[in-house]
Amino acid sequence: MAKVEEELLFMKIKENRLVRQAEALIPTPWGNFRMGAYAEDSEDWMPHLALVSENCDLNAPVLTRLHSECITGDLFGSKRCDCGEQLAYALHKAAEEGGIVLYLRQEGRGIGIINKLKAYNLQDIGLNTIDANLHLGFEADARDYGIAIEMLEDLGVHEIKLLTNNPDKIEAFEDSKVKVIKRIPIIIEPNADNREYLRTKQDFMGHML
């Protein structure tokens, strides 16, 4: 590759990196957090968000939760999943232990809210959450956790205690500069509406429930 082409490619890669576009103090029912909005473009209406507890110590391993957006669960309290309860628990623990919650805009495991609702309809006629996504032409899980690593590196985080049941999230950090020194489980009591959903995550996706 010619030198000019290499320089142009490098510039393009730099331009496509996430940038902390803005931040502000956000008082919540769990505690005070510094919220940073990450996007490639300052006009992006759906940036990824980092909520950093006011007690966060970046020189120690930081309790960290990677939470992918779930409008139905996080915002409307849907009982079809445990996402809203996981988010509330993560914010509580982050405030208590000086941790970080990364809110990643990857609705429906990366397929978006419209296709997620279509997937729900397929689940209602008998498909599980994985088969519904595959039927719609998507991967079982299309999320990208490299986004989270970029955000943590920008924040100056070097070691984390990862609050997760998902082995894919642990694996995502294997070759990164951010080291997972411990996994902390996040267990939510199932209900009648999400029991099969959680069983599918456990049996077919390897979630440690």
Catalytic center residues: 141, 143
Q: In angstroms, rounded to a whole number, what is the distance separating the alpha carbons of residues 209 and 49?
A: 26
Residue 72, annotated as binding a ligand: no
Residue 200, annotated as binding a ligand: no
Residue 137, annotated as binding a ligand: no
All residues at 6 or more sequence positions from 149 whose CB lies less than 8 Å from its CB, including other chains: 172, 173, 176, 177, 178
Q: In angstroms, rounded to a whole number, what is the distance separating the alpha carbons of residues 206 and 209?
A: 9
Residue 107, annotated as binding a ligand: yes
Tell me 178's DSSP state. Answer: S
Residue 109, annotated as binding a ligand: yes
Residue 83, annotated as binding a ligand: yes
- What stretch of H or E contains 118? helix 113-124
Report residue 115 as tokens: 């296709």
Give the closest residue to 102 by CA, choosing from 70, 65, 58: 65
Residue 140 carries which side chain, given as an amino acid letter?
Answer: A
Residue 43, annotated as binding a ligand: no
Residue 179, annotated as binding a ligand: no
Residue 56, annotated as binding a ligand: no
Residue 110, annotated as binding a ligand: no
Contact 24, 8 (CB under 8 A): no
Q: How many helices (H) and strands (E) does the chain have?
A: 8, 7
Residue 66, annotated as binding a ligand: yes
Other beta carbons less than 10 A from residue 21's beta carbon: 15
Give the annotated binding-site residues for Zn(2+): 70, 81, 83
Annotated binding site: 65-70, 81, 83, 86, 107-109, 129, 164, 169
Query: Residues forming the annotated binding site for GTP?
Result: 65-69, 86, 107-109, 129, 164, 169
